[in-house]
Structure 1
Amino acid sequence: MQAFTPLEAGDPERVGPYRIVGRLGAGGMGRVYLARSPGGRATAVKVVHEELAEDPAFRARFGREVAAARRVTGPFTAPVVDADPDADLPWLATAHVPGVPLGTAVATHGVWPERSLRALGSGLAEALEAIHRVDVVHRDLKPSNVLLAPDGPRVIDFGISVAADDTKLTTTGAVVGSPGYLPPEQLVGRAVGPAGDVFALGALLAYAATGTGAFGGGPAHGVNYRVVHEDPDLTGLPGGLAEVVARCLAKDPLRRPGTLELVEELGRWEEADGTHGTFTRATWLPAPVAADLTALRAAPLPEEAAAAAPADPDLPTVTVGVAPTAVATARLGAPPQRASLAARLRRPALRRRTAVLAAAGTLVTLAVAAALLLPGAFSGSSGGSGAGSTGSPTAAAKQLAVQELWSREQEFNGRPVVADGKVVVEGGDGALHALDADSGDTEWTYDELGGGADLVGVSDGLVVAYDSSGTVHAVDLDSGDRAWSVGAGPHTAPGTDFNLYLRVVVAGGTVYVNAMYDLPEDDERYGTYAVSALDAATGRLNWTRPVEYGLSHALAVEDGVLYGGIREADGSYFHAWDAETGDPLWRYHAGTSRQYAGDLTAITVSDGTVYFGDSRNVLHAVDARRGTGLWTSELDVDTLKEWLEPLVVSGGVVYGGAGSPSSHYDSGVVSAVAADSGKPLRTERTERAPQLHGLLDGSALFSTEAGTLHAVDARTGASAQTRLSTGDPAAAVDGDRVYFDGGDGRLHAGRISLTST
């Protein structure tokens, strides 16, 4: 077992006096390398991204925060040992902790017992006390910033994320911090102090105790809304800890306990034999995690920096052999002089779009995914059958390859949309860009969106997007001219302020929105929601339905009916409304009061049945005319998974992907379920959350946020894969063409092929 990965072409050989020998990870601010000091000490060196280095405000604040962080001393922190804020690419070095990230440990081995939770909490509280003692606030405490070691947890990256405030990170609309761990005061723009870190500590304990977030999963804006407006779900926490965690997660920072109070309260943990616990050995950890640490510390560190050999420049394709885990990567065009801002800062939440366009009840971006037509897909014999089967790695009869057609430097956020020979992207500059799908040449740029773009999709020759003011724009796909725009004013009730859209759907000349609104500060409620319909041509409000408790981000239109999810006083409900009038047709009770309506994550309608998935592993089938439940089917997985769009129904089979609602770095699945009964037919496990794309030469295609494109034979289940990117490729597939982020700041176009071995 090792915590580092080999170096790649383009990685530095040295940073300051430190010799780089491996990769440890990456984040929104930079890449982290394993290094050796001149005296041979193992060190973690973080090098900030180039676009941040170009920002004078970031440099100045980075220097101040690093100076403060160097004053932090404590047994449960990884201290800063060196830094150069004035380097061409600013960097800092901390003591290397050969440990397992908390998120990895929970995802791999499951939830923790109370004894380990108390030990974890006391160590983290002591670390925060040391950090706060020198007037530093972490502001980004999350599972990946907690490393587990035999002698206690270690908090890393303290005091550094604050340097990103008031820089390009925030001006481009990114959130500094991680959904579910950011305190409510930070989300509403108020001052954040040490109590904000206590909130994150409570969220970490809830995650380790339950395997999911205290505020559910799904898109970042939905999680953030629940943090501000709703109570945490502490189901599954040991009784003795639930009250402590609840106090840490109080909305009012003044009501949260202090770090010394938490050290005293949690520090009385006991060993398994009942003796008072100490951090002198790994017995504070769950046994499987302790075993991983033993293996990790036994693994030798790399002796020399050995960058990955560059691919053969004459190799035209990205090819996988028979074994699906053996990946050969080809050169995908010359890298730009500097990586784009969007490529460096893109967050997983941006991948799973918060707005989806529907026309005649079908998502335009699902047109290709609807090619999953074979009834036997994911249910063949030679690849294994039944839920949980992953196929035979040696049974692959084909090689998967992507031959590059073109690439161009292009900052973009989210997934491209391909329609009528054009690739439309939401640029990092806040504009919409249309590129010729065959050549990559820019056809037009639409820069009239105020406050940045949020691309919805393409329908009837119109590109639809909205901006931060709530105005929805429709742009002619051929010319780039605006066809119409609809503002948020008509659906914003008096006494409220428009906040954001949870979902936008356009169908039949009507704009349907799930929206969230702010209330006056003196209002006892935190906020409110509404489902509304507006005439696209005139902007006139056709109808609106206020929602008191909570509103799902899932929304779909089919045959004159609008479908969506609402949280009510006694639980979560799936609703059907007349799309023209807004009159309620029926509602289906989807879950208890413990289940958030926002957890309804994917909807599709087929042959008189509505299928929708939630973030608690469950797929539902409901009669579209009467609203009566037909069946439910639960994924055969150990942790919570969120059903992802698209859901595709064909040949009597429902196909869908699912990923973790609490972490985009956890594994996912692609599942096939019998449409008439809900019987699981097959589950193909993936290294990260999957995105279905379609069927090519008898194999289903999907990509994952780990950067790979997969092909699964619909008859045998045999699989092949190839790497598209160093990160989430945000791939869009159109026939045998794929358009994706190569992880190098460029938009790539390639031709997919499957060839017999």
Structure 2
Amino acid sequence: MQAFTPLEAGDPVRVGPYRIVGRLGSGGMGRVYLARSPGGRATAVKVVHDELAEDPSFRTRFGREVAAARRVTGPFTAPVVDADPGADVPWLATAHVPGLSLGAAVATHGVWPELSVRALGSGLAEALEAIHRAHVVHRDLKPSNVLLAADGPRVIDFGISVAADDTKLTTTGAVVGSPGYLPPEQLVGREVGPAGDVFALGALLAYAAAGTGAFGGGLAYGVNYRVVHEEPDLDGLPDGLADVVARCLAKDPRQRPTVRELIEELGRWEGADGTQGTFTAGTWLPAPVAADVTALRAAPLPEKPPTTAADADLPTVPVGAAPTAVATARLGAPPAGPSFTARLRGVPRQRRTAVLAAAGTLVVLTVVAGLLLPRAFSGSADRGDGMGSNGSPTPAAKQLTVREQWSFDEDFWQPVAAHGKVVGEGQDRALHAVDAGSGDAEWTYDDPGASSFEGVSEGLVVASSRENGTIQGIDLDSGKRVWSVAAKAHTAPGTTFHLYTRVVVADGTVYVNAMYDLPEGSERFGTYAVSALDAATGRLKWTRPIEYILSDALAVVDGVVYGGVQEKGGTYFHAWDADTGKQLWRYHASASRRYGGEVTAIAVSDGTVYFGDDRSVLHAVDARRGTKQWTYEPEADGVEEWLEPLVVSDGVVYGGTGDTTSDYGPGAVHAVAADSGRPLWSEHTEREPELHGLLDGSLLFSTKAGTLHTADARSGVSPAEARLSSGDPDATFDGDRVYFDGGDGRLHAGRISLTGG
């Protein structure tokens, strides 16, 4: 057994004085490698992500936090042994712990007995005491940051998350961390102290004892809401353990026990051999976990990295003549903007290493039949028998060409092309508009009260602010404010505005999903509403209170507003009149279940509304009557959510799915018959896909790996792909133009064509 994996193309062979020999994992701040020190000692080296390395303020915070973390000493921590915050790519090294993470142990071997959980808690409490004694707050204690060794648990990444968290908060306006382990005070923007780590410790103990989070699973938004507003579910815990966990999970930080109190309370555990508080593999770990830990400790450290495949970076492509024929893309409308769920998960703004030429240089990105880049689809390679992965004929090889037209000195978060302009939120948090044909700057709207770009409709740019609750209308031509409406315009009496979960601009109206807090002492913790504002004036047209949890997905088509609500009886899909807010019908999408069931993607076509949820189910419902037509659930290793947008064309529903807990895991693209729900094809992707529409008989989509793909609309076989960026390209399409973040901090415009075949 080994805890590391071989190095991959592009991984470093040396970081500072450390020789890299394997991969240990990755996280929100960087990638972790197994390394040998100059003296041969096993070391874990973390190299930070490029987008953080390019932020001067991050480097300052990183250096400060590393200095603080070096002061931490204790038997249950993995100490920082070396670091270089000033390197081209900052890094730090810690002592290597050859053990399982708590998350891997529970996922593989199941829940822990009370004895082991109490032992785990006492060791973690002692680790936190050492961390807090050095005036450091961890702020990201979670199962993957707890390693299990024979002589006790080890806490890693203490203090380092603060630097990354502050940077991401600055660039995204979202709370960054692991849902279910972040304390309520962190989620609502208050100061986080040592008591926040106690909350996370309580959540870890609940996870080890029950195998699930104390606040359920599903989308981050729903979990975080329950952390702030609902009590934890501790039904599966023994009484004595449930009591201490409940105190750790108190909403008020002042009511939680101190780590010293926890050490005294949990440290009285007795091992299987009758000894008290003695950490050996046989005394505190569950037997199957102890066996794995022992095997990992015995595994030899490699002397040198295993042989890896050649680097698959994009080769230099010479400048070529413009194609003689450019296909016209039949592309669906771009989504109304990134979902609040994605923002709350903390998807970082990408400032990546450049993969395109600098402004003014004409570059053609050409990939023929996937020969130059690895395929995104696991089953899309030609098998040599002329058949695709699903047994259908393989389409002839096509050439996907993206010819750059211009670039602009600011990348945009989910740009929108409308009326000859490209509008988006820049990495500087201001709203920008550039000429779609030339890339020349048109205007910048830098009011800090408009922090989130929502969309464009009928010559109006709409932005919202989660900080003060305003919705603003901005003239598309001039960039001047037309109106601004405060949340009090649609806040119900007796409630306090909390946040916008979704804003959609359609048909001259701004439709808003919002959450509101209720007064202290209320039987319920919060409520929701759907509201409609006149896009020309900002005047409130109507508001409809929602008693239960309102899904963030929202669609407005043909005078009807569609959305999902998680109620006591399960998840219901609603249709409201777009002019009045009156309910037209209500469809029971899933049976009663405490957690999950969130509606995540909606599309309407030819009298049918299609929507996907976070339980892997795609639904088709009659748009007039709200009656069921069919449901489809793809085969998957686990529960997945349907991603925005869904694309409906020529009698087929195309949709992407991805992991419910991560935006950067693998995904899949599916094609389903629109009239029956019969599966036509499914293909796996290296990262979560975002669909963009159809081009010359092919489905066009991009992934967070930075690659633009086509998939044959009939078979799903992927005949062509092209690299746009080193990360999420944030691509949007308008005819045969694509606008995207090229990974170099710039917005790029390219003309696309798919030829041959």
Question: Under a length normalisation based on structure 1, what TM-score does the superposition of the two structures give?
Answer: 0.76
Is the CA contact (8 Å cut-off) linking 1:691 and 1:702 kept in structure 2? yes
Report whether the alignment pairs 1:474 with 2:473. yes
Alignment of 1:457-472 (within 5 A): 457-468=455-466, 469-472=468-471
1:626 is matched with 625
Letter aligned with residue 418 of structure 1: A
The alpha carbon displacement at 1:663 in A equals 1.9
Tell me the secondary structure at the aligned position of residue 699 of structure 2. strand
1:455 is matched with 453
Tell me the secondary structure at the aligned position of residue 70 of structure 2. helix
Alignment of 1:704-715 (within 5 A): 704-715=703-714
* Matches of 1:146 and 1:476, distance apart in 2: 51
Letter aligned with residue 724 of structure 2: L
Letter aligned with residue 61 of structure 2: F
Tell me the secondary structure at the aligned position of residue 708 of structure 2. strand
User: How big is each residue's C-alpha offset from its partner over 1:591-638, in whole Å with a ceiling of 9 and x where there is no partner?
Assistant: 334255871111122222222111011122222222222332222112
* Matches of 1:241 and 1:284, distance apart in 2: 25
CA separation of 1:598/1:18 partners in 2, compared to 1, >3 Å: closer, same or farther? same
Tell me the secondary structure at the aligned position of residue 603 of structure 2. strand
Tell me the secondary structure at the aligned position of residue 68 of structure 2. helix
Report whether the alignment pairs 1:132 with 2:129. yes
2:548 is matched with 549
Tell me the secondary structure at the aligned position of residue 218 of structure 2. coil
* Matches of 1:481 and 1:743, distance apart in 2: 30
* Matches of 1:671 and 1:234, distance apart in 2: 38
Letter aligned with residue 458 of structure 2: D
Tell me the secondary structure at the aligned position of residue 197 of structure 1. helix
* Matches of 1:403 and 1:244, distance apart in 2: 60
Tell me the secondary structure at the aligned position of residue 503 of structure 1. strand
Q: Which moved more, 1:97-106 or 1:134-143?
A: 97-106
Tell me the secondary structure at the aligned position of residue 594 of structure 1. coil
Is the CA contact (8 Å cut-off) linking 2:115 and 2:284 kept in structure 1? no
2:81 is matched with 81
* Matches of 2:63 and 2:143, distance apart in 1: 28
Stretches of structure 1 that go unaligned for 5 or more consecutive residues are 271-275, 318-344, 353-377
1:732 is matched with 732
Is the CA contact (8 Å cut-off) linking 1:500 and 1:517 kept in structure 2? yes
The alpha carbon displacement at 1:140 in A equals 0.7
The alpha carbon displacement at 1:90 in A equals 5.8
1:540 is matched with 539
1:278 is matched with 282
* Matches of 1:36 and 1:239, distance apart in 2: 43
The alpha carbon displacement at 1:736 in A equals 4.1
User: How big is each residue's C-alpha offset from its partner over 1:667-686, in whole Å with a ceiling of 9 and x where there is no partner?
Assistant: 22212223233233322222
The alpha carbon displacement at 1:157 in A equals 0.7
Tell me the secondary structure at the aligned position of residue 114 of structure 1. coil
Is the CA contact (8 Å cut-off) linking 1:393 and 1:719 kept in structure 2? no
The alpha carbon displacement at 1:746 in A equals 3.2
Q: Which moved more, 1:728-737 or 1:113-122?
A: 113-122
The alpha carbon displacement at 1:121 in A equals 8.2
Is the CA contact (8 Å cut-off) linking 1:83 and 1:92 kept in structure 2? yes
Is the CA contact (8 Å cut-off) linking 2:508 and 2:535 kept in structure 1? yes
Tell me the secondary structure at the aligned position of residue 480 of structure 1. coil
Tell me the secondary structure at the aligned position of residue 278 of structure 1. helix
Tell me the secondary structure at the aligned position of residue 128 of structure 2. helix
Alignment of 1:141-180 (within 5 A): 141-146=141-146, 154-163=154-163, 169-170=169-170, 173-180=173-180
Letter aligned with residue 130 of structure 1: A
Question: C-alpha root-mean-square deviation of aligned residues, in Å?
Answer: 4.6
The alpha carbon displacement at 1:692 in A equals 0.8
* Matches of 2:144 and 2:491, distance apart in 1: 39
1:702 is matched with 701
Letter aligned with residue 728 of structure 1: D
* Matches of 1:255 and 1:462, distance apart in 2: 49
Letter aligned with residue 705 of structure 2: A
Is the CA contact (8 Å cut-off) linking 1:565 and 1:597 kept in structure 2? no
Is the CA contact (8 Å cut-off) linking 1:13 and 1:305 kept in structure 2? no
Report whether the alignment pairs 1:181 with 2:172. no
Tell me the secondary structure at the aligned position of residue 137 of structure 1. coil
Q: Which moved more, 1:412-421 or 1:566-575?
A: 412-421
Question: Under a length normalisation based on structure 2, what TM-score does the superposition of the two structures give?
Answer: 0.76
Letter aligned with residue 278 of structure 1: G
The alpha carbon displacement at 1:582 in A equals 1.7
Is the CA contact (8 Å cut-off) linking 2:413 and 2:426 kept in structure 1? no
User: How big is each residue's C-alpha offset from its partner over 1:50-100, in whole Å with a ceiling of 9 and x where there is no partner?
Assistant: 45544697267425532333x2332xx432112356778764321234667
Q: What percentage of residue pairs aligned between the two structures are identical?
A: 61
Report whether the alignment pairs 1:743 with 2:743. yes
* Matches of 1:632 and 1:250, distance apart in 2: 40
2:510 is matched with 511
The alpha carbon displacement at 1:34 in A equals 5.1
* Matches of 1:279 and 1:301, distance apart in 2: 35
Q: Which moved more, 1:160-169 or 1:221-230?
A: 160-169
Is the CA contact (8 Å cut-off) linking 1:211 and 1:640 kept in structure 2? no
Letter aligned with residue 487 of structure 1: A
CA separation of 1:316/1:66 partners in 2, compared to 1, >3 Å: closer, same or farther? farther
Letter aligned with residue 68 of structure 1: R
* Matches of 2:229 and 2:157, distance apart in 1: 28
Report whether the alignment pairs 1:67 with 2:70. yes
* Matches of 1:33 and 1:398, distance apart in 2: 38
* Matches of 1:585 and 1:738, distance apart in 2: 38
Is the CA contact (8 Å cut-off) linking 2:121 and 2:205 kept in structure 1? no
Letter aligned with residue 513 of structure 2: N
Letter aligned with residue 649 of structure 2: S
1:114 is matched with 111
2:218 is matched with 217
* Matches of 2:273 and 2:754, distance apart in 1: 57
Is the CA contact (8 Å cut-off) linking 2:407 and 2:747 kept in structure 1? yes
* Matches of 2:294 and 2:590, distance apart in 1: 38
Is the CA contact (8 Å cut-off) linking 1:550 and 1:597 kept in structure 2? no
Letter aligned with residue 302 of structure 1: P
The alpha carbon displacement at 1:691 in A equals 0.8
CA separation of 1:609/1:6 partners in 2, compared to 1, >3 Å: closer, same or farther? closer
The alpha carbon displacement at 1:645 in A equals 1.3
1:321 is matched with none
* Matches of 1:523 and 1:81, distance apart in 2: 50
Letter aligned with residue 288 of structure 2: W
* Matches of 1:706 and 1:103, distance apart in 2: 25
Letter aligned with residue 514 of structure 1: N
The alpha carbon displacement at 1:729 in A equals 2.5
Letter aligned with residue 3 of structure 1: T
Tell me the secondary structure at the aligned position of residue 725 of structure 2. coil
The alpha carbon displacement at 1:169 in A equals 3.9
2:61 is matched with 58
1:417 is matched with 416
Tell me the secondary structure at the aligned position of residue 71 of structure 2. helix
Letter aligned with residue 697 of structure 2: G
Tell me the secondary structure at the aligned position of residue 662 of structure 2. coil
* Matches of 2:644 and 2:620, distance apart in 1: 15
Is the CA contact (8 Å cut-off) linking 1:44 and 1:94 kept in structure 2? yes
The alpha carbon displacement at 1:563 in A equals 1.6
User: How big is each residue's C-alpha offset from its partner over 1:424-476, in whole Å with a ceiling of 9 and x where there is no partner?
Assistant: 2211222111233344332221223x345212122223322212322222333
Is the CA contact (8 Å cut-off) linking 2:199 and 2:250 kept in structure 1? yes
User: How big is each residue's C-alpha offset from its partner over 1:503-547, in whole Å with a ceiling of 9 and x where there is no partner?
Assistant: 112223222211112334455543322111222333332222222
* Matches of 1:301 and 1:264, distance apart in 2: 44
Letter aligned with residue 463 of structure 2: A
* Matches of 1:292 and 1:685, distance apart in 2: 33
User: How big is each residue's C-alpha offset from its partner over 1:91-143, in whole Å with a ceiling of 9 and x where there is no partner?
Assistant: 4321234667666888xxx6642259986885476245323234143211235
Is the CA contact (8 Å cut-off) linking 1:99 and 1:148 kept in structure 2? yes
2:366 is matched with none
* Matches of 1:705 and 1:213, distance apart in 2: 30
CA separation of 1:578/1:311 partners in 2, compared to 1, >3 Å: closer, same or farther? closer
Letter aligned with residue 497 of structure 2: F
The alpha carbon displacement at 1:227 in A equals 2.0
CA separation of 1:306/1:711 partners in 2, compared to 1, >3 Å: closer, same or farther? closer
User: Among residues 5, 8, 18, which one is paired with 1:3 in the alignment?
Assistant: 5
2:430 is matched with 431
CA separation of 1:199/1:267 partners in 2, compared to 1, >3 Å: closer, same or farther? farther
Tell me the secondary structure at the aligned position of residue 576 of structure 2. strand
CA separation of 1:509/1:624 partners in 2, compared to 1, >3 Å: closer, same or farther? same
* Matches of 2:607 and 2:417, distance apart in 1: 29
CA separation of 1:717/1:533 partners in 2, compared to 1, >3 Å: closer, same or farther? closer
Tell me the secondary structure at the aligned position of residue 716 of structure 1. coil
* Matches of 1:295 and 1:33, distance apart in 2: 19
